[in-house]
Amino acid sequence: MSDEEFSGIPIAELTRAQAEAELRRLAALIRHHDELYYRQDAPEISDAEYDALRRRNDEIEARFPKLIRPDSPSKRVGAPAADGFGKIRHTVPMLSLGNAFESADVTDFVERVHRFLKLPDDVPLAFMAEPKIDGLSISLRYVGGKLTEAATRGDGMEGENVTRNVMTIAEIPHQLHGRNVPELIDIRGEIYMPRQAFARLNEQQQAAGGKIFANPRNAAAGSLRQLDVSITASRPLHFFAYAWGEASQLPADTQSGVDAAFAKWGLPVNPRARVCNGAPELIAYYEGLAEERAALPYDIDGVVYKVNSLALQERLGFVSRSPRWAIAHKFPAQQAMTVLKGIDIQVGRTGALTPVARLEPVTVGGVVVTNATLHNEDYIKGIGGQGEILRDGRDLRIGDTVIVQRAGDVIPQIIDVVIDKRPKTAKPYVFPDVCPACGSHAVRESNEKTGKVDVVRRCTGGLICPAQRVERLKHFVSRNAFDIEGLGEKNIQAFYDDGLIQSPEDIFTLAVRDARSTKKLEDREGWGPQSATKLFNAIAARRTIALDRFIYALGIRHVGETTAKLLARFYGSIENFRTAMIEAGKSKDAEAFKELDNIEGIGEVVAEAIADFFAEPHNVRVVDDLLKEVSPQPLEAVDTTSAVAGKTVVFTGTLTLMTRGEAKARAERLGAKVAGSVSKKTDYVVAGADAGSKLAKARELGVTVLGEEEWLQLTGAADRS
């Protein structure tokens, strides 16, 4: 099973091994989404989906505390600082908050605080409640009342130095004024963009052909993270202060008292923050703010509750990445009803076909929504994957009245169908099995061990698909493929955009075409005679390349460096490889496919991906056109005179005189082909201790069976120490 296959198993049913794999998957997935959210300001999942990932991680860790990983999401906040700015180390970490989603969660939070402090339930406990601004966290360092540094949250320990940018925000004072200003204090708060200002900015961006921001939070973060400070200065950014980090002294002994001092010093604080006593008042505050939410001039995604007494905050302390004395009460996603007008299929750079709903425009949470993600084929059918969100297995049909939700107020999605309003003429949607971008077959892979079908349908067009082409070209010239100096991702993108390089063979005809062209490469901006000549020489030097690098460069799904080496060794030459793969692409029943599938280390999923690639005539044409320009060479020479040269060998059982890896490597050096299973084409089976079904199969087919000593004698290694 792959790690992904444990994602749907209830936590109570996970085995220890499954839990370990699931924690590994979640750590990588959450790190990916943190990078998108905190560093690139481009989230691809909703807040609700992100929170669900974190909850699952935390609950698994609670059940299996010994499996908590060093890189666990529960131990970190945000993402590392981006490279474009200098870095600032936070003297006091900028931690995140735990989440509450229901009123019962808030009651539980208050009860936990009482239990930890050993306070009777009937003893009133004051909390500061305030709107949770959906913006960018910032830390402002004041020394002697003067603003000296500003840093983003980053990973909680180290953030980006955005001091010059922050200095352009009018609401942030360069100098604090008033009584009791500490000699040193780090003010923590949120930079945000009001909704009306966000709408005006997007209008300006659209008119100028610039980037359109998805929401005010992304706009605020993108505006602050500008290397050109004048751009930040031109953007309508605002600020609320609500906390502090390092401080030489504090002006009060309560959260509300410190906030009041902030206001007196000239820092903007949220006027809707107030002190509440006990869970009922907190919940009432939350419900009241939820009613006001649409009328607020800025986006909020919940409410934050903090124990008001600083002395009690100190006693409560922290757990993992969040304080015990505070919690964020999140709002549910906002919903609206509209009509599904159509379904468009988008092809991603990896070949994934993603359906997108075209909707009758509808306002959801103050934003006009015209499109929504449909995730994948099964979601539309309502039969699994992310389709379980549609109740009772309901499918989606064009013309349906649907309920749209802005999950986490970021990415709209359809969560239900109003069956009573379904038109009688509405028919089940038929997902395409060909790529709309290039016409190649689009397939769903099956896991060879479980038989589970991948939820994603992918284009097999590879190098010829316009939706994938530029990314495939970048892969083609990457370090472990053709590795052409001077032809990195930036130049590939520029040459592709200008029509100079559309396919791999174009790289190797570039010099000839340039010589005939009136617009020379050396005349392009950033180029000259010397750099152009250097690039042409680097391309020429790669006309001869190792076969495994050639195979890897084709960008066939699942074919990495290791698999490319296996294929290069097994088939020996590009002629053998090309002929066998074309035959394998014709049918799974073909001997060539069975032979491919039988190579040790390949497997059915990889074999199918390779066969699918070569089953497309245009992929074969690309390979053939490329072979007119380059000459793939076999891997290091093998001993073609040995007794096992050209023979197919299978190792089975426990080997005691050599490791399986050593045996395989030696066989390949002697020109043998190592297969993973026994067939009529097998020449030798080398059987160690406890050999099982493969040994029985060999005897059934009359294949020669050798013991380890016999194998070593046959290969001339019997005398090794």
**Which residues are known catalytic residues?**
132
Contact 470, 507 (CB under 8 A): no
Distance CA 203, CA 206 (A): 5
| Lookup result for tokens 């084929």 | 377
Distance CA 344, CA 355 (A): 6
Q: What is the DSSP letter of 287?
A: H
Distance CA 474, CA 466 (A): 13
The H or E element containing residue 325 is: none
Contacts 24+ apart (CB under 8 A), 544-548: 544/630, 544/631, 544/633, 545/482, 545/630, 545/631, 545/632, 545/633, 546/632, 546/633, 546/635, 547/573, 547/574, 547/577, 547/632, 547/633, 547/634, 547/635, 548/635
To 5 degrees, how large is the angle CA 162–CA 163–CA 167?
120
Task: Single out the residue of 295, 189, 188 nearest to residue 244, CA to CA.
Answer: 188
Distance CA 549, CA 483 (A): 9
Number of neighbouring beta carbons within 10 Å of residue 659: 10
| Lookup result for tokens 């990973």 | 155
Separation in Å, CA 682 to CA 578, 672, 698: 22, 11, 8
Q: What is the DSSP letter of 654?
A: B
Number of neighbouring beta carbons within 10 Å of residue 385: 19
String of DSSP letters for 328-389:
EEEPPPEEEEEEEEEEEEEE-TTSEEEEEEEEEEEEETTEEEEEEE--SHHHHHTSSTTGGG
Please state whether beta strands 401-407 and 631-633 pair in parallel, antiparallel, or not at all (unpaired).
Answer: unpaired
Contact 426, 400 (CB under 8 A): yes
Separation in Å, CA 513 to CA 474, 528, 602: 21, 17, 40
Contact 340, 398 (CB under 8 A): yes
Distance CA 299, CA 134 (A): 6
**Token representation of residue 474:** 């970048």
**Token representation of residue 450:** 């479980």
Task: Single out the residue of 486, 488, 436, 481 nearest to residue 457, CA to CA.
Answer: 436
Query: Would you call 684 helix, strand, or coil by DSSP?
Result: strand
Residue type, 183: E
φ and ψ at residue 161, rounded to 5 degrees: -80, 105
